[in-house]
Amino acid sequence: MVRWFQSFPRPPRVGRVAPGGVPEQDLVVPSRLAVLRTALARIGTTLDEVLTCAELTREAVRQVGGAAAVLRVGEAVAQYEAVKGDAALLPGVPWAMAAAREAIAPGEAASPIHFAAVGGARPALCVPLTTDGHPYGGLVCARGRDAFTAAEAELLGLLAERAASHIRHAREHERVSGIVGDLQRALLAEPGRPHPNLDVAIRYMPVGPSALVGGDWCETVRLHFGRTLLVVGDVMGHGLEAAVDMTAYRSSLRYIASADLPPHRVLRQLDDSASTDPDRRPATCLIARVDPNRGQVTLASAGHLPPAVIDGQGRTSLLPVPVGPPLGTGLGGYEPATYRLDPSQTLVLFTDGLVEHRGEDIDHSLDRLAGLDFGAARGVEQVIDTVLARLDAKRAEDDVAVLAAQLHERVLRGDGEGP
């Protein structure tokens, strides 16, 4: 292919010197390269296919005037898209469709198709919108003056190739994002159901606009004699990789919890299991075993933040829990802590994304949570709505998972259920 800048007449060579002592002929090629580089840089600024087409036609009109539009092959209804300039200048869609198919015909080198200006018809040009053998349609340009020159056709071809490359990337990104979304939805298994003697509400808020689930998770497991295991965990990192490890931790937890071990022994076995997998990311975890018949909760922590308790007057406090090392280290060393829990209280387990702010000491972050007054907030759903709103969780810098639980008052009057 002849380079665009070589299609222009060469400048005079006889003794002409630009300011600064540089011969003018040495400045022409770099200046045209700079123009071309600037034009190409205006196309494909995002992974949005529609925006890329609009950037292409806008730049085409900027470079050669007239009007420009994109015609994509394979569309159910053929029509011009991303039209810039005077649409009345554009040739009929049937000619453009035929030209686009001819321009990107299989087994042939892609080349521009000129519209013959016969009988007063305006000159037009269809440039193939293709890259690496992947056809996407054509860039159609038209104007009400002279036909397009070879240099203009080559310039438009470069712009179209740039756009086609970004369209390919955009479609691949959309395809991969769809696969990731399907996988994330599969990974986002619903937590188990607690016993009817316990009200539980859970919220996930993965960081990032495209994430469905990250490394944060909540789980509930029914145990014998009306007890329920409440779990919240946080896998290091974000995105799909963290979500995969999150699923592995949840699966291990469900299996280990079926043996009805106390929380600190569940953590020990989780740690042992995770430490044997060299690719498993470390995770923090907090386990609470709620026993409505005894009116108590037993807690154990693997590097996780302590839970909060909201009393009947809406006041918030944190429950101190001995903190062991994160899961996956193989160090073990987890200890339990037991507290009274009655139906007037709400137990709240959460991941650090709920409270942490970059550059802020974690104690200050926890103090902000402990300083919340829930007033007349009642019910686990209302409690979670309040804590997410008060702590502005929509702007969280990390994934957020919150679990709130309340005992049913009737259980403490002696009608707890068995396994």
Q: What is the pLDDT of residue 416?
A: 44
The lowest-confidence range among 31-40, 127-136, 206-215 is: 206-215
Dihedral angle computed from the Cα positions of residues 296, 300, 304 and 310, in that order, rounded to the nearest 10 degrees: 10
Q: What is the pLDDT of residue 413?
A: 42
Contact 41, 28 (CB under 8 A): no
Give me the mean pLDDT over the 160-172 stretch.
Answer: 92
Calculate what percentage of the chain has a pLDDT beyond 90: 45
Q: What is the pLDDT of residue 49?
A: 92
The lowest-confidence range among 15-19, 180-184, 321-325 is: 15-19
> pLDDT: is 67 or 374 the higher one?
67
Task: Say whether pLDDT at 94 is over 60.
Answer: yes
Helices (H), 188-238: none
Task: Say whether pLDDT at 107 is over 60.
Answer: no
Task: Say whether pLDDT at 189 is over 80.
Answer: no
Task: Say whether pLDDT at 417 is over 80.
Answer: no
Q: What is the pLDDT of residue 119?
A: 45
Task: Say whether pLDDT at 356 is over 90.
Answer: no
Q: What is the pLDDT of residue 23?
A: 53
When pLDDT is cut at 50, 70 and 90, the band that residue 22 belongs to is: very low
Secondary structure (DSSP) of 365-395: HHHHHHT-B-TT--SHHHHHHHHHHHTTGGG
